[in-house]
Amino acid sequence: MSDQDRPGGGPDGDGDRLRELERGLRAARKADEGNKPAADRSGVAVAFRLSTELVAGAIVGALVGYGLDYLLGTSPWLFILCFVFGVAGGFLNVARAGIRSEKRNDGNGR
Amino acid sequence: MSNDPIHQFQIKPIVPLEIGGLDVSLTNSGLYMLGAAAALTVFLTMSMGGRALVPGRVQSVTELIYGFIADMVRSTAGSDGMKFFPLVFTLFVFILFANMVGMFPYAFTFTSHIVITAVMALLVIGIVVFYGFYKHGLHFLGLFVPKGVPWVMLPLLVPIEIFSFLVRPVSLSLRLFANVLAGHITLKVFAGFVATLAAVEAWWGVPAAGLPLLMTVALTALEFLVAFLQAFVFAILTCVYLNDAIHPGH
């Protein structure tokens, strides 16, 4: 194959090819806009985040309540109260994470 | 006993050492920590050693990790959060290397010990609290008071907010530790089934051993995914919590 046969072999052809490349790049960049890293949206990552949140809430609430009861001698009232607050806190974290990932999926992420 | 699935997590002193009555021996856990830190330092410096304009294969891996974390920090904690980029990057790479090194047969996985993950989680939360008070003073406590809520609800909501904050270090450490621990135990148990079934003196013994073997292969792939995902989740949650310290308004 000689140089003349190749598309865009001459100096003018090179310019054409460069322009074509430029156009291609611009199109690719446009398509990529607002495209956050893929793993960011990965449902698995979100699922892994949420699974522990509830358990941890219950554990923290129970431990804090038990500790305060032990110190203040108010057993079992603070235990019950803190346990409920702890579970609620866990749920709050789950809700927050859900809202956050939803926002990001809408494309107007923070 | 080689079939004991918990045996792999045992801590053994390698260089016994005692300072002031404290046992500070170098254990297999500590050795693997040093190993992971050394391996990632060597990998990162070597791969960037050339600083080629057009990156080679190894250099582009490092650049990809850098870009990935930088993007994550910027999109989660804003551009103010970039001052914490070194922290997030180090945590991510350290946990990633720890989990990946732990995937080698006979290797020790130190992220399967809650002491290690708890210290990392407390470091993150400690920085969040310290930076929050340093930057915003007592306004940082506004984090616990949700906006636009009638004051009657505050006695109920403020404790919930405080507990949701207290839960963070626990869930952060628990998640990494539990996933790695459970994954390695499951792998060991299924691998144990292979040996047990293959030893059965019946015609179906060896063919039946193929089933848990298949499962072990599948689980190994899953563990590699978990090894990456847990490092990623730890890093992104670090960013989310740092965001609260940088912008406590929301």
What tokens were used for B11? Answer: 């801590």
Compute CA distances B210 → A76, A100, A110, B76, B106, whole Å. 53, 44, 49, 45, 22
Determine the structural domain holding residue A83 and report its residue range: 42-105
Residues 6 or more apart in contact with residue B88 via CB below 8 angstroms: B69, B72, B73, B235, B238, B239, B242
What is the pLDDT at residue A42?
62
Q: How many domains does chain A have?
A: 1
Report the residue of chain A nearest B78, measured CA to CA: A110
Q: How far apart are the first and last CA of chain A?
A: 55
The contacts of residue B35 (CB under 8 Å, 6+ apart) are B101
pLDDT at residue number A8: 46
Chain B CA closest to residue A51: B175
User: Under an 8 Å CB criterion, which residues of B touch A?
Assistant: 68, 71-72, 75-76, 78, 159-168, 170-171, 174-175, 178-179, 225-226, 229-230, 232-233, 236-237, 240, 243
Give Cα A64 distance to the centre of its chain. 30
Lowest mean pLDDT of A5-9, A21-25, B120-124, name the range: A5-9
pLDDT at A2 over 60: no
CB hemisphere CA count around B122 (13 angstroms)? 6
Q: How far is B227 from chain A (nearest CA, A)?
A: 12
Reported as a pLDDT band with limits 50, 70 and 90, residue A11 is low
Q: What is the pLDDT of residue A37?
A: 46
* pLDDT beyond 60 at B103: yes
**Residue A92 contacts B, CB cutoff 8 Å:** yes
> Which of B170, B16, B187, B178 is closest to B113 using CA atoms?
B178
Counting residues of chain B whose pLDDT is more than 70, the rounded percentage is: 98
Whether residue A58 lies within 8 A of chain B, CB to CB, comes out as no
Q: How far is A4 from chain B (nearest CA, A)?
A: 30
pLDDT of residue A105: 63
In a domain? residue A52: yes
Break chain B into its structural domains and give their ranges. Answer: 7-246
- The answer to whether residue A62 scores a pLDDT higher than 90 is yes
**Alpha carbon distance B230, A39 (integer Å):** 12
At B174, the pLDDT band (50, 70, 90 cuts) reads very high
Closest by Cα among B86, B88, B105 to B96: B88
Cα–Cα distance for residue pair B93/B65, rounded to 1 Å: 9
Q: What average pLDDT score do residues B89-111 get? A: 92
In a domain, A75, yes or no: yes
Residue A36 counted as domain residue? no
Whether residue A6 has pLDDT greater than 80: no
- Please say whether the beta carbons of B192 and B5 come within 8 A: yes
User: Taking 80 as the threshold, does the pLDDT of residue A70 lie above it?
Assistant: yes
Q: Which residues of A touch B240 (CB under 8 A)?
A: 100
Cβ-Cβ contacts under 8 Å between A and B: the total is 90
pLDDT at A33: 57
Q: Which residues of B40-61 are buried (b: 16+ CB within 10 A; e: fewer)?
A: beeebeebeeeeeeebeeebee
Is there a contact between A93 and B229 if contact means CB atoms under 8 Å apart? no
Q: In angstroms, what CA-CA distances link B100 with B105, B138, B199, B227?
A: 11, 42, 31, 6
A110 pLDDT higher than 80: no
Average pLDDT over residues A2-24: 66
Residues of B in contact with A56 (CB under 8 A): 167, 170-171, 174
Res A13 pLDDT > 70: no
User: Across the interface, which of B71, B167, B174 has its CB nearest the CB of A86?
Assistant: B167
Alpha helices in B110-249 (DSSP H): 114-136, 154-198, 205-246
Note the pLDDT tens digit of each residue in B29-81.
999 999 999 999 999 998 888 777 788 888 889 999 999 999 999 988 888 88
CA angle B71, B73, B78 (to 5 degrees): 105
User: Is the minimum CB–CB distance between A88 and chain B shorter than 8 Å?
Assistant: yes
Decide if A73 is inside a domain. Answer: yes
For the cut 70, the answer to whether the pLDDT of residue A106 exceeds it is no
Give residue-wise pLDDT tens across range B11-28: 888 888 888 778 888 888
Q: How confident is the model at residue B163 (pLDDT cuts 50, 70, 90)?
A: very high
Q: According to the model, what pLDDT value does residue B235 have?
A: 93
> Considering the entire predicted model, what is its pTM?
0.81
Q: Is residue A69 part of a domain?
A: yes
Does residue A109 or residue B195 have the better pLDDT? B195
* pLDDT at residue B18 in the model: 82
Span A58-73, mean pLDDT? 92
A89 with B166: Cβ contact below 8 A? yes
Contact (CB<8Å) B160/A89: yes
* pLDDT at res. A60: 92
Nearest chain A CA: its distance from B171 CA (Å) = 5
pLDDT of the residue at B250: 55
ipTM for this model = 0.76
Looking at residues A20-34, what average pLDDT do you find? 76
Is pLDDT above 70 for B177?
A: yes
Nearest by Cα to B187 from B232, B218, B210: B218
In chain A, whose CA is at the least distance from the CA of B169?
A: A56
- Percent of chain A clearing pLDDT 70 (strictly above): 69
Averaged pLDDT score across all residues of chain B = 89
